[in-house]
Every structure is written in C-alpha cells, then in structure tokens.
Amino acid sequence: MKLVSDISGLREWRNSVSGSVGFVPTMGALHNGHLSLVESSNRTCKHTVVSIYVNPTQFSPNEDLSKYPRNLQADVKKLQHFNVDVLFFPDDKMMYPDGFSTSVSESQLSSKLEGASRPTHFAGVTTVVTKLFNLVEPTHAFFGKKDAQQFRIIRKIVDDLNFDISIIPCEIVRESHGLAHSSRNDYLSIDERKRAGIIHQALKEAEDILKKGERSSRVIRETIRQRISTDALSKIDYVSVADTHSLEEISGRIEKSILVSVAVYFSNVRLIDNFEFIIRE
C-alpha cells in the first residue's frame, strides 16, 4: 500500500495503472463498516484507493470537527489486511488552498432530513467528493447505506454532472448489539454502545409491522419514537418516513417504497440509522 499525501503523487500513480479503480472515501477512525467497503472494492475492482480526510467544510461551527477521532497509524494497520493500492490522506492546505472559492451543491435532496438539521453539511460533502473523484478518477466508488441520504445525493451529482463512475451501495455493518458502526461511537462507553442498540431495535420493530401490512406512516413514526424514548440517554432529533427516491416526507398512507430514518442524540452523540422498505409497484 502506497501512502500518498500530495496530489502530484496521486496523479502519478493514477497515470501508471489501467483497468478498474475502486474508491472508498472516508474520514478515518476506520471500523468494520469502512472495511466492508474496502472489501467490496477488492471484490469488484483491479485496484483500490482509500482516502482519509476529515473534511472541515461538512462540519457546522457547533459540531465536533476538532475532537473528531483521528488515528492514522491504526488506520494504516487495519488497511494492511486488504488489497489497497493507495491510501490518500491530504491535508487542509492540499484540499483547500488559500483563495479556494468553489462549491458544488445539490439542491433537492440536500435540504431534507440530515440537511434540515445540518444546513451546510451536504454542500461540504458534495464539494469534497467532487474534488476526490477528479483526483482519483475511479471507475467505481463505494458508499455505505448507513448514510442513506448521502448515497442518494452522490448518485444524483454523478448523474447530473456526468461523472463516468459506478456508485455502489454497501450494506450497513453493525456492532454485536445492533448499533451501526460509526467513528462517532468512539465517544460512547461500552455500556452506552450496548444501550444505543435500542435505535436498531426500534427500526426493526417498525420493519416487522410494515412486513405484517401496517401502512400508516404515523404509526411507524410513533412505534420508533416510543421505543427509542424508553432509554433516558436518548433525545430524538427526527424520525422520518419518506419516499425512498425523492426523500419527501410521507404524511398519510404508505403506498410507495420508503426510507425510514432516524437521528438520535444518545448521551449527546448524534447517531443516525435507517432501513429501506420496498413496495413493488
């Protein structure tokens, strides 16, 4: 695995290879969710590039940029078990040199769900992902379904801006008690992580009643809210039942495929999770 922190080194490598190149963009503090994306890339592509960059522009001023977990050495060790050609880890000066003044933003999906709570977040994501796509020039890029809205927005900018890149969704990987892996889980104690499994249990309960035929969006939201609220450490930001494509909130009966998603502060750590429920038309 080549460790590359500068753009010229990355371009030099890219010009030296041919065939499929899979790309896994991350913010580091790697866990099994990230590593499953690397595995998918290894299975699908001849080459794999992983990036680690804690992108400041996707954090709001009141968020956890300065204390976001960073551990490059441990990340390098974890990646050595996989077939990674290049680990690209640029710094802020490399990504946003003085005078940087361009932004890429998507305007339909980005204001909903996470975007309502974090208004500048997705413009930060789409700008940095566009830059990384231009630098790595991948044929495939791998994104986790844990960030379901992010995945949809990336797929949208790839369509809208004609990137010749296949965007591959990867399943959510969970800890043993059901909590979706996230670098932010590092902020929680072992006991809190176990208790935060209630978020997944609540979603599963909702999925079960959907499978049994429940079609009231209100009942689905209430079921999730009630279950999560039983733990005093939790404070719900939102519970959403939305059209899986447009992310428009559904107010009445569920008649189309939906994305059911939540954001919950658990012990003050913001956690997200979701599932998709497909209704064949």
**Residue numbers annotated as active site:** 34
Instruction: State how far the Cα of 231 lies from the Cα of 227, in Å rounded to an integer.
Output: 8
| Of the residues 72, 168, 172, 209, which one makes contact with ligand AMP according to CB under 6 A | 172
Of 69-77, 100-108, 169-177, 210-218, the window that binds ligand AMP (rule: CB under 6 A) is: 169-177
By CB under 6 A, tell whether 181 contacts ligand AMP: yes
Minimum Å gap between C-beta 49 and ligand AMP is 13
By CB under 6 A, tell whether 183 contacts ligand AMP: yes
Minimum Å gap between C-beta 125 and ligand AMP is 8
By CB under 6 A, tell whether 147 contacts ligand AMP: yes
Of 42-50, 174-182, 192-200, 228-236, the window that binds ligand AMP (rule: CB under 6 A) is: 174-182
Nearer residue to ligand AMP within complex by CB, 36 or 240: 36
Instruction: State how far the Cα of 205 lies from the Cα of 140, in Å rounded to an integer.
Output: 34
By CB under 6 A, tell whether 219 contacts ligand AMP: no
Minimum Å gap between C-beta 197 and ligand AMP is 13
Footprint of ligand AMP on 5-64 (CB under 6 A): 26-27, 33-34, 36-37
Footprint of ligand AMP on 126-145 (CB under 6 A): 143-144
Minimum Å gap between C-beta 83 and ligand AMP is 18
By CB under 6 A, tell whether 158 contacts ligand AMP: no
User: Given the rule CB under 6 A, which residues bind ligand AMP?
Assistant: 26-27, 33-34, 36-37, 143-144, 146-147, 170, 172-173, 180-183
